[in-house]
Structure 1
Amino acid sequence: MNILLVDIGNTTADFRIWNKETNEIKKIIRPETKDASWRSSSALFKHFQENKIRVDKIIYVSVVPEWNDIIRAFANKLKIDNFNLRSDFDIDKSFFEVDDLSKLGADFISNFYGAIDSYGIENGAIVSMGTASTIAVIENKKFKGTIISPGLKNSLDCLISSAVLLQNNTYEKSNVPYGKNTVDAINIGSFNAHYTMLSSMVKKLGFDFAIFTGGNSIDFKEEIISDGFIFDEELIFKGLIKFNK
């Protein structure tokens, strides 16, 4: 059985197929959520038909309400069932010690279940580096709360958009300790320092165990592993799979 797993964030909609028999997760497409050429069930249906991609049902997590309608319409075109993590599954409220579970992002919930199921996390942090960079605090297998900061690329975009002379450069993670020119200095401050902020916050919380995930975490895979943390870019999808078991 092939199950389409979809993670709809504020920046991208990540489509992957999980083969239940082999337990393999395969990347399919990852359009930007604001890309008009993909923001319709017809566009998705056309892509899947032309590429002969067959799926038996859809499980998705979304923080963009408009895309919920798109996924439901897409499932109708495929004539298969679709399940929204937020509304179609029973979430054990006893795991979440937050003020209002209904206002907690569905991505936090899926990452938490992925961490419980795949790593048996008891005490530690789940760090997601996406549109926002977030830290979920886990104590005694309970979701205690979160820390949210502007994401790496959003912070960088905010900086360079306000200064014309900074805009025609390429910015990326740096391998030097400090800059001797503006580009290197921004690279270190925007990329390297962002990871340092997150890893330092994990340690300040008193945790030695942390799972790093999210699209921007890929740039720091080497540092994450070197620091003794876990890198798992598929964590949110493992959470969706947990709900299918």
Structure 2
Amino acid sequence: MKSDSKKVVRKTRGKEPVICVVDVGNSHTVLGIFKGTKVVDYWRLTTRKETTSDEVMNKVGGLLGFSKIKTDEITHVGLSTVVPALERPWIKALDSLLKKRVQVVNSKNCMGLRINYQNPSMAGADRLCNVVAMREAGFKNAIIVDMGTATTFDVMKDGAFAGGVIIPGINASLDALTEKAARLLPVTIEWPDAVVADNTDDAIRAGLLYGFLAQLEFLIGKIKKEIGCDDMPVYATGGWGKTIARRTSLIDKYDPFLTLRGIRLVALNGDATNINSEESRDTEEE
């Protein structure tokens, strides 16, 4: 169901805004460049939790050198991170490299998004961005399944973030299983021919993939029942989103850039009083 609320996007006078967005996840970091609403470049990096601002600046500067967009064309910068220790290095690097203040996504600058969470500040920035992006697309109710290190089911009800579900991601499940079970070794993750496997490797694969799929379909059904909206759309995003979306009819669309779209909107429209890049620029990492 789509909302009739008006879209609000501030534009640079006479030109389309050019926005650099960064989504720092537990395992991977995605860097993207938007021109207006279009993704013109993006890169996927391994998240290194001990990285410094100099290392970030060197990596990002190198990647932007291959972009169609020059750094001095960038008008806005947005950052979402679920790794608190990396917030300061990324702010400092982006601020120094792009000479623009960095809008860091948090529960207070998501364009007036209602957050129905016991402690709104504990809601993941990436989860809020997913809902902001869906609201901007015109939806009032929706489920966003973001499949990364953790898989989150982000629920949008009446245009607000209504909470959701968090379960281990596929790779995290494999790591936990092989770490705790002495005779089970890591396997390549690919779909086995059948659920009932005649060897240990395929048995692990079947449990991981078909088990995850069954869990996903069950939770989608339960969420729709609790919300009382059987026709609410289900979008998938994240590293495993495309693979899983192909295997179930319950996912309506896969959008690899959904979280980045939300960061873009916050970068353009977020409350600038929540930016503190000056402090981050002057403070060295410990």
Shorter-chain TM-score range: 0.7 to 0.9
Q: Which residue of 2 aligns with 1:67?
A: 86
Q: In structure 2, what is the Cα distance between the partners aligned to 1:26 and 1:45?
A: 12
1:28–1:168 distance in 2 versus 1, CA, 3 Å: closer
Q: TM-score, normalised by structure 1?
A: 0.86
Q: Does structure 2 retain, via aligned residues, the 8 Å contact 1:173–1:219?
A: no
SS in 2 for 1:145: strand
Q: Which residue of 2 aligns with 1:101?
A: 120
Pairing partner for 1:230 from 245, 248, 253: 253
Q: Which residue of 2 aligns with 1:2?
A: 18
Q: Which residue of 1 aligns with 2:58?
A: 43
Q: In structure 2, what is the Cα distance between the partners aligned to 1:39 and 1:196?
A: 44
Cα deviation 1:183-213 (Å, max 9, x = unaligned): 1111111112112211221112224421111
1:238–1:184 distance in 2 versus 1, CA, 3 Å: same
Pairing partner for 1:242 from 262, 265, 284: 265
Q: In structure 2, what is the Cα distance between the partners aligned to 1:175 and 1:156?
A: 19
Q: Which residue of 2 aligns with 1:89?
A: 109
SS in 1 for 2:161: strand
Deviates more, 1:214-223 or 1:152-161: 214-223
1:180 pairs with 2:198: yes
Pairing partner for 1:135 from 141, 153, 169: 153
1:221 deviates by: 2.9
Runs of 4+ in 1 over 4 A off after TM superposition: 35-39
1:124–1:151 distance in 2 versus 1, CA, 3 Å: same
1:170 deviates by: 1.9
Q: Does structure 1 retain, via aligned residues, the 8 Å contact 2:175–2:186?
A: no
Q: TM-score, normalised by structure 2?
A: 0.74
Instruction: Give the fraction of aligned pairs with identical amino acids, expressed as a percent.
Output: 24
1:228 deviates by: 5.0
SS in 2 for 1:193: helix
Q: In structure 1, what is the Cα distance between the partners aligned to 2:195 and 2:107?
A: 47
Deviates more, 1:33-42 or 1:162-171: 33-42
Q: Which residue of 2 aligns with 1:220?
A: 244
Q: In structure 2, what is the Cα distance between the partners aligned to 1:169 and 1:145?
A: 33
In structure 2, the gaps of 5 or more residues are: 1-16, 270-286
Q: Which residue of 2 aligns with 1:16?
A: 32
1:36 deviates by: 4.7
Q: Does structure 2 retain, via aligned residues, the 8 Å contact 1:45–1:78?
A: no
Q: Which residue of 2 aligns with 1:28?
A: 43
Pairing partner for 2:129 from 110, 124, 130: 110
Deviates more, 1:164-173 or 1:61-70: 164-173
Q: Which residue of 2 aligns with 1:79?
A: 99
Q: Does structure 1 retain, via aligned residues, the 8 Å contact 2:147–2:240?
A: yes
Q: Does structure 2 retain, via aligned residues, the 8 Å contact 1:126–1:212?
A: yes
Higher relative contact order (CA 8 A, sep 6+): 2
Give the residue type in structure 2 aligned to 1:129.
M
Pairing partner for 2:170 from 152, 159, 166: 152
Q: In structure 1, what is the Cα distance between the partners aligned to 2:59 and 2:108?
A: 22
SS in 1 for 2:240: helix
1:232 deviates by: 1.4
Q: In structure 1, what is the Cα distance between the partners aligned to 2:56 and 2:152?
A: 30
Q: In structure 2, what is the Cα distance between the partners aligned to 1:49 and 1:137?
A: 34
1:210–1:44 distance in 2 versus 1, CA, 3 Å: same
1:8 deviates by: 0.6
SS in 1 for 2:194: coil
